[in-house]
Amino acid sequence: MKEKISILIADDNLEFVDLLKEYIDQYDDLDVVGIAKDGMQAIDMIKSIKPDVVVLDVIMPNIDGIGVLEKLETHKMENKPIFIMLSAIGQDMFIQKAVSLGAEYYIIKPFDVEVLVTRIRQLYEEKYLSAFSNRTVNKNTEFAHAHALDRTYDIEVEVTNLMHDLGIPPHMAGYQYLREAIVLTVKNSKMFSSITKSLYPAVAEKFNTTSQKVERAIRNAIESAWSRGNLDTIDSLFGYTISYTKGKPTNSECIAMMVDKIRISVGIR
């Protein structure tokens, strides 16, 4: 494999792109080789630069991300890049359309950039190993793999959507901590048996902070949602267990209810 994975970012949100590029550039094995501000520019740069990976936003001026995939579908590309779609839209119809046009991954905003970096490496390695061993993969198998991706992706999408529905502000530190706590607990229910000794420390380690700060930040995020969030979603999630008028749920109550909902959504028993 090459020393560096070349990446083209196509997104019209320049502030977001600058932050994403700055984050990616800190890794020695990744190289942002271009930035496209709209769909037409993305098509031209994909053809000229020939990046290994294209991080492509769905909503863009001139031609959207789906349109970019449709245009490139008509061109015979010798080395087709890996397409990772970014969007605040999580409906199945958009995901299926993107995957049917060749996208390998679809990630919902807001997201953990570390997850994106991990997926870039995984998808690149899979493509390289597949080409190296001259393996052929049935198109239906490709679709099923890309659409399902992995259980982790399903969990992350469901958690992000649920937190958005509850109205938890994504700019708060507690948003990331709570999101990570739920994902970890869905994957390993034993984490919940000792929140203070296992779950909070695990979240704290990932974000290079302390368990106490994780606990307080999650508390603030829950209180913020309770004060300014979507009351209908809150009632549907907590209504049968916690009375909205009697006070906010504890951290453990909130995590437990959200974990149960996610496990049902992704089919984990």
Give the pLDDT confidence of 183-199 residue by residue, as tens digits.
888 888 777 777 888 89
What is the predicted pLDDT for the residue at 138? 47
Query: Is 207 in the same domain as 251?
Result: yes
| Ramachandran angles phi, psi of 243, nearest 5° | -80, 125
**Among candidate residues 118, 149, 180, the one where a domain is terminated:** 149
**Among candidate residues 149, 165, 192, the one where a domain is terminated:** 149
Instruction: Give the three-class secondary structure for 32.
Output: strand
Regions in the chain scoring below 50 on pLDDT: 132-150, 240-246
For 3-32, the pLDDT digits (tens) are 799 999 999 999 989 999 999 988 889 999
What is the predicted pLDDT for the residue at 187? 83
The runs of H, that is alpha helices, within 25-112 are 39-49, 65-73, 92-100
What is the predicted pLDDT for the residue at 118? 85
User: Pairing mode, if any, of strands 105-108 and 5-10?
Assistant: unpaired
For 212-238, the pLDDT digits (tens) are 999 999 999 888 877 775 666 666 665
The domain of 173 spans 155-266
State the total domains in the chain. 2
Query: Is 90 in the same domain as 136?
Result: yes
pTM over 0.85: no
| Ramachandran angles phi, psi of 97, nearest 5° | -65, -45
What is the predicted pLDDT for the residue at 206? 87
What is the predicted pLDDT for the residue at 149? 42
What is the predicted pLDDT for the residue at 148? 41
Query: Is 49 in the same domain as 138?
Result: yes
